[in-house]
A and B are shown apart, each in its own frame.
Chain A
């Protein structure tokens, strides 16, 4: 893996600056950037070696995380610092701490334009942050207690879980206007859009289920029971993987039939979850256990565990 990435870098070197921003996305993730909220750090985990190789101090109880489209920058929310923190992924250093006020928690990045969207937990708004200047470019009105953010692969729409409205806001990225409010289960928190940009899945903390949303129809088309206090959803190999905070499990279901599959024991308080780009492996941050659990998507088994700093949350996209 390491060798393959290095080879890719050499190739890029060969074609010079043209390669910048067009780096090929590896099929496997090489690193995980894990917000460790109770230790005020972000851990860098080498996923092949399965160990923490760097710990970056980030004051302010870091929680949400997202990567720039070229995966060179890592955006982290620090709710207690009321800030968006920008980390240079390669040098593993904090580049900027942008104090934006409020309660920044959920964060998402437009995969096409690179705009950074930050949800203000305490107000009915998102901030749109310009990735170049890191200035707040706009405020986007959404619902109550916005938490998870997902952006469609074409970059045209963003979806926000308005936790205390029991709904998702669909926002037109170009006009920055909310174009639809989609009722879902009780207290949606994490939200994930599939690779085709057709369906979205919200983890509903209050009703212990996942809402399946048709994005073209702009409505909920299915509801699947999962474990206690679902937090976030990842998608891989035709299945949804859902962290159950109180259950200490990852629930699975078939995304075509919505039939429930096995429920896997992970650590205590599993929260952030993401699939590697090739869909073979899932990574789960366990807030109480201070671990990152590795799941094999095909066999639906836990294949490893990485010790992390205190209170890993990794709420968002954290694989590089």
Chain B
């Protein structure tokens, strides 16, 4: 995570990424956390597409369209880099939302063609919640034989770390509110 924040500082001055492409080997990451709070309470935080403050590197969320499909948001990270995202699926009943990144510098997050789903499911008879965060993406370098920092491994590591820090922080934040 620290690496991403540090990278974000650099990225603020870097050029825009290349056009997204549809290369041959897309990767998946899935991370989960169990939170000691009812699903509705967790969804009240996770289900607000216009507030990503629970994700540690995010300083500010600005967007339009609320929680409607095609809503957009710009995350401003600590250090000034931005990530443009768009909501493409939203179900309050299933407590699930899906969004994609429309624009991010590979120096901030070394991925292309990124999409993601976060869902909240009841656990322990509804007293707790399982939050699952899935990501699908290509590595940062869309041609053959990538440099190490834009490899499949780098992309998977960066997304895993991002999800882990986000979910752990979400759990801490919500459970702290319980007490």
Q: Which residues of chain A come closer than 8 Å to B24, judged between CB atoms?
A: 61, 63, 77, 79-80, 103-105, 121
Q: Which residues of chain A come closer than 8 Å to B22, judged between CB atoms?
A: 145, 147, 163, 187, 189, 205
Are the C-beta atoms of B28 and A246 separated by less than 8 Å? no
* Contact residues of A: prevailing secondary structure: loop
Q: Which residues of chain B come closer than 8 Å to A189, judged between CB atoms?
A: 22
Taking A145-B21, A187-B22 as contacts, is the C-beta distance between A38 and B117 under 8 angstroms?
no
Q: Does B143 contact A (CB under 8 A)?
A: yes
| Most chain A beta carbons < 10 A, residue from B24, B88, B134, B144 | B24
Q: Does B89 contact A (CB under 8 A)?
A: yes
Q: Does A201 contact B (CB under 8 A)?
A: no
Q: Closest residue of chain A to B100, judged by CB?
A: A246
CA distance A37 to B136 in the complex (A): 13
Q: Which residues of chain B come closer than 8 Å to A147, judged between CB atoms?
A: 22
Interface 1/0 per residue, B101-118 and A, CB below 8 Å: 000000000000001010
Q: Which residues of chain B come closer than 8 Å to A187, judged between CB atoms?
A: 22
Taking A122-B144, A288-B28, A311-B28 as contacts, is the C-beta distance between A103 and B100 under 8 angstroms?
no
Taking A102-B144, A228-B88 as contacts, is the C-beta distance between A288 and B134 under 8 angstroms?
yes
Are the C-beta atoms of A79 and B136 separated by less than 8 Å? no
Q: Does B25 contact A (CB under 8 A)?
A: yes
Q: Closest residue of chain B to A145, judged by CB?
A: B21
Q: Which residues of chain B come closer than 8 Å to A77, judged between CB atoms?
A: 24
* Contact residues of B: prevailing secondary structure: strand
Query: From residue 93 to 138 of chain B, which have CB atoms closer than 8 A to chain A?
Result: 98, 100, 115, 117, 134, 136
B81 CB → nearest A CB, Å: 25
Q: Does A248 contact B (CB under 8 A)?
A: yes
Are the C-beta atoms of B115 and A246 separated by less than 8 Å? yes
CA distance A297 to B28 in the complex (A): 31
B19 CB → nearest A CB, Å: 9
B99 CB → nearest A CB, Å: 10
Q: Which residues of chain B come closer than 8 Å to A269, judged between CB atoms?
A: 136
Query: From residue 5 to 28 of chain B, which have CB atoms closer than 8 A to chain A?
Result: 21-28
A305 CB → nearest B CB, Å: 18
CA distance A38 to B156 in the complex (A): 12
Are the C-beta atoms of B134 and A103 separated by less than 8 Å? no
Taking A122-B143, A288-B136 as contacts, is the C-beta distance between A164 and B21 under 8 angstroms?
yes
B140 CB → nearest A CB, Å: 16
Are the C-beta atoms of A61 and B25 separated by less than 8 Å? yes
Q: Does A127 contact B (CB under 8 A)?
A: no
Q: Closest residue of chain A to B134, judged by CB?
A: A288
Taking A246-B115, A268-B117 as contacts, is the C-beta distance between A37 and B25 under 8 angstroms?
yes
Interface 1/0 per residue, A137-163 and B, CB below 8 Å: 000000001010000000000000001
Q: Closest residue of chain B to A271, judged by CB?
A: B26
CA distance A189 to B23 in the complex (A): 11
Could you list which residues of chain A lie within 8 angstroms of chain B, going by C-beta atoms?
Answer: 37-38, 61, 63, 77, 79-80, 82, 102-105, 121-122, 145, 147, 163-164, 187, 189, 205, 228, 246, 248, 268-269, 287-288, 310-311
Shortest 6 CB-CB contacts between residues of A and residues of B: A79-B24, A61-B25, A105-B24, A122-B144, A79-B25, A121-B24
